[in-house]
Amino acid sequence: MMPGKQAEPRPTAKYRSQFRIYVDIMSVIQRESNEAKPTRILYGANLSHDRLVKYLDELKALGVIQETGTDDKIYSLTQKGIEFMNNFRRVESFAQAFGFKI
């Protein structure tokens, strides 16, 4: 801590896991009729530009999203991504039924 400075209060926002961020990005793409521009994803998933680029690269490497377009990049879910989201929705509603959040 810097001398003379008071300790900053801890952020109250809940920590979002990497898994949750992946799901949030993919949910935004799905919500946008499976064709989402980076700006939409950025606002929808509440991410900074740098983190968005990082996560989009990771999701592409996992094969759950694909990038199309050259000037205006468009992201969409692959078949693997759609299946993942279907499974996630099942697990989410199962967990919610018990009152657990994932």
Partner 1 sequence: MEFIAFVIAIAIANQALRGYKLSKEKTLLYLNLSFVLIGAGLLVDGLSSLIVFLTGVRRGFLYPFAIGYTINFLAQVIAYGLLVYAYIHQARSVSESPTLALAAAVPFLFFERNAFTELILLFLLVYIATQTGINYSINKGTNSMLVFGAFLALAISHVFFLIFTVAPVFYPFAHIAQLCGFLLLLAMLLRVNRPT
Q: Which stretch binds partner 1 (CB under 8 A): 4-12, 27-35, 73-81, 87-95?
A: 87-95
Comparing CB distances to partner 1, the nearer of 9 and 99 is 99
Q: How far apart are CA 28 and CA 55, in angstroms?
A: 13
Q: What minimum distance in Å lies between the beta carbon of 16 and partner 1?
A: 13
Contact residues for 35 (Cβ-Cβ < 8 A; gap 6+): 29, 74, 75, 76
Beta-ladder partners of 19: none
List of residues contacting partner 1 (CB under 8 A): 17, 19, 86-91, 93-102
